[in-house]
């Protein structure tokens, strides 16, 4: 029996974003190269099946160059048997293209099951596993939390996190694509010996070219979140109490846009209508 | 004939002890003869427990005096009369003291709680009693036979001669018994509790080439990395297990034992000795031996706070903490068994480089609003580097201390800088949690940064960082002049750069951080600093200096839940509350966090303020800062 686990290496930017260089600017150290945590759980889930399924072989599939070497080794050390790296001619891909490439690679190794993470921490699309099942023509269960296989290796029982505390149990025919959700399955800590072995795993690289196919969906622009208000300054005890209170209040003051009108309700209503008309919110005859 | 047999038995026994110490780890040891002689002559370490120490002193020196006297007597050397009389008197008195000491020990054992006693000591004490008594009785009957009467040469012998029978046969029997007793003593030495004599002597003689707080270094490509089986320990560690006398001093001071956790350092040493006697032969026959886990449980291993209390108080200079760390390394690196709560800490360290998991980009958040330069922002090299540490940078309470320290340095006009975003966790947490690989990774990256800036002097205010930078980085190539913040503040005060002018009118007490006190012997600077601040009066706790109780946060315990036994920080908080002071001074982020937690849970009505000594100094020198601005 073969399981392919798709692993995505991500760049996690955990720092605040913003323009002020001193406190908000991103530096190189702020980027953490790691494996998508959902994929780590998927790998752990596959590894735990080794106990019950004889002759289970786990292939880790990575798309694109290795950017997170240490963390990749750590993830492989959980129990992968070999690695398949896919190189492509495209640099930026949408989920549709990614799943197409993965499907072509997976058709060659014919896995009984394909495990993916539910979504990736960086883009949070969650589309690749679904598209992958479409390309391969296989069944698909999303947000799986537990899986067990029957004696003949033909049926799988998959528990799924249905949200709002609902647990759904599915009976599926293999082969199957599942996307894995975070659950009580926590990746174990690989030992030094396992890490050593992970460095010398059979590593196969294949190249799949899409010959200039263009993305069906492409990001037009990206808006980072507004910077959080700056943390308050340290209160200087030597200042007068009045000034210290001002200091305390200063970070919390948020500039409000708009005008506060006061007065008689009738007058206010007229002013409001005038304002709306002026700004073309209201089109009255 | 007898003597030769006994010598043969003794030597076989000692070589058997040597065989038991089969080990695979080589460790550089140096001999320290002067230290051994000092140790034996003064008995200072043993005298820390005054009653037992004194009695041990008497028995040890008594045996030595008798052996030294009997050898020339047997060789037929003749002394001048006055010298001979003197010797006789000395031996008489020594014998009496020994008799008293042995009797005291025996009575003590008979009265003591049976469950707590170490078996196998009573019959050895009885043997000593037989040796001393037969000695006196033979001397007494001899004096009776020759009708010597009372003389100052042998007062005790005279007393015995009064009721000794006037019979040469009795005298001969006594002499034979005495001789047999002495022979039995030597023959039994390596096979009984008396093995602490050869093993202990060797243990004290052989010194490790490690800095005070440093854990033993290991090779990462070894397999297993930690201690899986008994012979994965180093020779010095096994020597400790043989030398242990089960005096239970480690257990009197171990915070884990005091708080009723399963860990007892003495028990670990006993378990090791048991394994050693059983497994050494298996090793020589290349047969599989059982793992150490069968004698030592995970709960024991993870209960250690690495406070060094066991090591400091051990009269045999054994280091049980080092063995516990070797066992932890095996759990983490060879088996991947880490307590659930610690996994996140280790993961945070792996990914973000700090124990709080906030990341490098947030490392300088604590300085927002105050002027603190980072090394990379300065054109020229600063005089000193202020090592902030994870707690100073991220912990909401302790970053106040970091700010105070920065303000003090600014006031004093010191050209300083912080490592800023170049800083990573020093690796103490990782190393004490058994993750040696992670520690070396973090440490090497830190050393590389520090070296690239050409840093020489580093002021550190976290004792754990201090210990790591000072004692553990040199092994990895980072040699710096590391100064604890407390000492640096004292120098600044002495140089009149800061003046603690404003009184802090409070009675305070001090909680000695383990990694300043026991590990690095920094006790006095804390007290001196308190004295420099006007208005403060210091009241020492019952457990202070070497006996200070750990706060429960060291050795990675900061990130582990305390589910077994009592909570150590609450125990300590109760002690502090009962001392009736209004202010607790400490000098360690872990102590501060643990004590604030503990104090919050034990005292609702009385309020004990907890401040770092840096904060107290900052309060007292606040005026100087104001004057400048």
Q: What pLDDT, in 10s, does the model give residues A169-214?
A: 999 998 899 999 998 888 999 999 999 999 999 999 999 887 767 7
Residue A192 to residue B622, Cβ atoms within 8 A:
no
Q: What are A33's strand-pairing partners? A: A11
Cα B13 to Cα B10, B24, B60, B120: the distances in Å are: 5, 22, 21, 17
Region of residue B533 (phi > 0: left; psi between -120 and 50: alpha; otherwise: beta): beta
Cα A150 to Cα A153, A174, B114: the distances in Å are: 6, 10, 59
* Residue of chain B whose Cα is closest to the Cα of A21: B361
Chain B positions in Cβ-Cβ contact with residue A16 (cut-off 8 Å): 361
* Strand stretches in B237-294, DSSP E: none
Chain A positions in Cβ-Cβ contact with residue B331 (cut-off 8 Å): none
What confidence score (pLDDT) does residue B254 get?
Answer: 93
Residue ranges in chain A modelled with pLDDT below 70: 14-29, 212, 224-235, 250-258, 284-285
Cα A6 to Cα A76, A134, B434, B562: the distances in Å are: 11, 16, 32, 39
What confidence score (pLDDT) does residue B625 get?
Answer: 40
Residue whose entry in the numeric block shows the structure tokens 């052989």: B206
Q: Report the candidate in B573, B547, B546, B551 with the shortest Cα–Cα distance to residue B562.
A: B551
Residue B368 to residue A233, Cβ atoms within 8 A:
yes
Q: Give this prediction's pTM.
A: 0.85
What tokens were used for B459?
Answer: 């002021």
Residue B360 to residue A29, Cβ atoms within 8 A:
yes
Q: What are B517's strand-pairing partners? A: none
Determine the residue among B218, B220, B368 to mutate to test chain A binding: the one whose Cβ has the most chain A Cβ atoms within 10 Å. Answer: B368
Q: What is the ipTM of this complex?
A: 0.81
φ, ψ for residue B538, nearest 5 deg:
-105, 130
φ, ψ for residue A151, nearest 5 deg:
-60, -40
What confidence score (pLDDT) does residue A59 get?
Answer: 95
**Residues A84/A145, Cβ–Cβ less than 8 Å:** no
Determine the residue among B353, B361, B368, B420 to mutate to test chain A binding: the one whose Cβ has the most chain A Cβ atoms within 10 Å. Answer: B361
Chain B positions in Cβ-Cβ contact with residue A232 (cut-off 8 Å): 369
What confidence score (pLDDT) does residue A157 get?
Answer: 93
Query: Tens digits of per-residue pLDDT, B86-141?
Result: 888 888 888 888 888 888 888 888 887 766 666 677 788 888 888 888 888 888 88
Residue whose entry in the numeric block shows the structure tokens 């099946």: A49
Query: Tens digits of per-residue pLDDT, B472-489?
Result: 999 999 999 999 999 999
Q: What is the dihedral of CA B344, B350, B355, B359, to 10 degrees?
A: -110
Q: Give the list of residues 6+ apart from residue B513 with CB closer than 8 angstroms, or none.
A: B463, B551, B586, B587, B588, B590, B591
Q: How many CB atoms lie within 10 A of CB B626?
A: 14
What confidence score (pLDDT) does residue B628 get?
Answer: 33
Taken as a whole, chain B contains a residue count of 629
| DSSP state at residue B234 | B
Q: What angle do CA B316, B320, B324 make, to 5 degrees?
A: 170
Residue A238 to residue B223, Cβ atoms within 8 A:
no
What confidence score (pLDDT) does residue B624 get?
Answer: 41
Using CB atoms, pick whichever of A26, A74, A231 lies closest to residue B368.
A231
Distance in angstroms (rounded) separating the CA atoms of residues A270 and A198: 74
**Residues B501/B623, Cβ–Cβ less than 8 Å:** yes
Q: How many CB atoms lie within 10 A of CB B466?
A: 32
* Residue of chain A whose Cα is closest to the Cα of B622: A238
SS3 of B285-351: the string is CCCCCCCHHHCCCHHHHHCCCCCCHHHHHCCCCCCHHHHHHHHHHHHHHHCCCCCHHHHHHHHHHHH
Determine the residue among A11, A24, A29 to mutate to test chain B binding: the one whose Cβ has the most chain B Cβ atoms within 10 Å. Answer: A29
**Residues B185/B127, Cβ–Cβ less than 8 Å:** yes
Residue ranges in chain B modelled with pLDDT below 50: 623-629
DSSP for B91-102, please give it. HHHHHHHHHHHH
**Residues B242/B20, Cβ–Cβ less than 8 Å:** yes
* Residue of chain B whose Cα is closest to the Cα of A239: B626
| DSSP state at residue B27 | -
Q: Is B628 exposed, middle or buried (0-12, 13-18, 19+ CB in 10 A)?
A: exposed
What confidence score (pLDDT) does residue A260 get?
Answer: 75
What is the rounded end-to-end Cα distance, in angstroms, of chain A? 73
What tokens were used for B522?
Answer: 């920094």
Residue B333 to residue A192, Cβ atoms within 8 A:
yes
Q: What are A88's strand-pairing partners? A: A208
Q: Give the list of residues 6+ apart from residue B230 with CB closer than 8 angstroms, or none.
A: B238, B272, B275, B276, B279, B280, B289, B292
């Amino acid at each position: 029996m073969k399981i392919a686990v798709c692993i995505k290496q991500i760049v996690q930017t955990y720092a605040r974003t913003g323009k002020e260089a001193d406190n908000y600017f991103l530096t190189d150290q702020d980027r953490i190269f790691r494996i998508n945590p959902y994929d780590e759980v998927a790998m752990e889930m596959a590894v735990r099946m080794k106990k019950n399924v004889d002759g289970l072989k786990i292939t880790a599939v990575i798309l694109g160059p290795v950017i997170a070497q240490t963390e990749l080794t750590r993830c492989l050390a959980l129990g992968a048997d070999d690695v398949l790296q896919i190189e492509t001619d495209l640099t930026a891909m949408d989920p549709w293209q990614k799943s197409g490439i993965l499907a072509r690679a997976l058709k060659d190794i014919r896995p009984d099951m394909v495990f993916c993470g539910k979504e990736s921490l960086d883009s949070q699309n969650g589309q690749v596993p679904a598209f992958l099942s479409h390309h391969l023509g296989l069944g698909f269960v999303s947000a799986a939390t537990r899986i067990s296989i029957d004696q003949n290796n033909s049926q799988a029982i998959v528990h799924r996190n249905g949200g709002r505390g609902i647990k759904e149990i599915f009976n599926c025919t293999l082969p199957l694509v599942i996307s894995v959700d975070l659950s009580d399955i926590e990746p174990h800590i690989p030992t030094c010996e396992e890490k050593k072995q992970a460095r010398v795993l059979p590593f196969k690289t294949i190249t799949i070219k899409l010959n200039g196919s263009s993305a069906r969906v492409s990001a037009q622009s990206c808006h980072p979140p507004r910077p959080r208000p700056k943390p308050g300054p340290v209160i200087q005890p030597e200042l007068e109490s009045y000034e210290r209170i001002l200091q305390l209040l200063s970070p919390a003051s948020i500039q409000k846009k708009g005008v506060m009108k006061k007065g008689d309700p009738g007058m206010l209503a007229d002013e409001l209508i005038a304002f709306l008309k002026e700004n073309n919110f209201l089109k009255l005859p | 004939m007898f003597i030769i047999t006994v010598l043969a038995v003794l030597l076989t026994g000692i070589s058997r002890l040597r065989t038991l110490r089969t080990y695979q780890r080589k460790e550089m040891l140096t001999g320290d003869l002067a230290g051994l002689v000092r140790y034996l002559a003064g008995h200072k370490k043993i005298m820390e427990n005054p009653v037992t120490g004194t009695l041990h002193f008497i028995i040890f020196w008594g045996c030595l005096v008798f052996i030294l006297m009997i050898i020339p007597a047997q060789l037929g050397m003749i002394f001048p009369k006055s010298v001979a009389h003197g010797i006789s008197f000395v031996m008489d008195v020594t014998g009496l003291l020994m008799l008293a000491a042995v009797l005291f020990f025996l009575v003590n054992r008979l009265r003591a709680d049976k469950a707590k006693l170490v078996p196998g000591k009573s019959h050895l004490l009885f043997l000593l009693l037989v040796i001393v008594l037969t000695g006196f009785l033979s001397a007494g009957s001899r004096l009776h036979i020759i009708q010597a009467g009372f003389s100052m040469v042998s007062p005790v012998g005279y007393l015995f001669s009064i009721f000794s029978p006037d019979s040469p046969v009795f005298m001969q029997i006594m002499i034979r018994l005495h001789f047999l007793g002495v022979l039995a003593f030597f023959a039994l030495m390596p096979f009984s509790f008396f093995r602490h004599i050869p093993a202990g002597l060797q243990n004290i003689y052989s010194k490790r080439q490690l800095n005070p707080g440093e854990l033993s270094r290991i090779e990462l490509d070894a397999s297993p990395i930690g201690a899986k089986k008994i012979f994965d320990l180093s020779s010095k560690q096994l020597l400790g297990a043989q030398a242990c006398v089960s005096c239970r001093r480690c257990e009197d001071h171990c915070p884990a034992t005091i708080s009723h956790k399963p860990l007892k350092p003495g028990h670990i040493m006993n378990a090791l000795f048991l394994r050693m006697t059983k497994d050494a032969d298996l090793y020589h026959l290349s047969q599989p031996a059982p793992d150490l886990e069968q004698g030592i449980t995970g709960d024991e291993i993870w209960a250690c706070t690495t406070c060094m209390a066991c090591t400091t108080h051990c009269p045999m200079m054994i280091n049980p903490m080092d063995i516990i760390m070797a066992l932890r390394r095996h759990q983490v690196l060879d088996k991947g068994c880490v307590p659930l709560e610690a996994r996140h800490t280790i993961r945070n360290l792996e990914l973000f480089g700090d124990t709080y998991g906030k990341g490098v980009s947030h490392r300088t958040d604590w300085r927002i609003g105050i002027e603190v330069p980072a090394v990379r922002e300065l054109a020229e090299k600063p005089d000193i580097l202020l090592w902030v540490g994870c707690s100073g940078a991220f912990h909401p309470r302790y970053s106040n201390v970091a700010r105070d320290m920065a303000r003090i340095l600014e006031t004093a006009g010191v050209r300083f800088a912080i490592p800023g975003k170049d800083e990573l966790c020093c690796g103490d947490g990782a190393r004490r949690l058994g993750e040696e690989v992670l520690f070396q990774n973090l440490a090497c990256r830190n050393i590389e940064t520090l070296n690239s800036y050409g840093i020489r002097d580093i002021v550190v205010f976290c004792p754990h960082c201090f210990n790591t930078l000072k004692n553990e980085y040199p092994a990895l190539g980072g040699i710096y002049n590391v100064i604890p913040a407390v000492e640096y503040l004292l120098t600044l005060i002495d140089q009149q750069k800061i003046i603690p002018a404003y009184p802090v009118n409070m009675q305070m007490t001090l909680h000695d951080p383990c990694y300043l006190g026991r590990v690095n012997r920094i006790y006095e600077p804390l007290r001196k600093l308190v004295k420099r601040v006007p208005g403060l009066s210091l009241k020492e706790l019952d457990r202070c200096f070497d006996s200070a109780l750990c706060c429960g946060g060291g050795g990675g315990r900061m990130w582990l839940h305390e589910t077994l036994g009592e909570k150590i920080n609450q125990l300590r908080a109760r002690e502090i509350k009962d001392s009736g002071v209004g202010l607790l001074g400490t000098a360690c982020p872990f102590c501060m966090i643990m004590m604030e937690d503990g104090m919050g849970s034990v005292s609702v009505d009385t309020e004990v303020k907890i401040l770092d000594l840096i904060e107290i100094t900052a309060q007292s020198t606040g005026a100087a800062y104001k004057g400048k601005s």
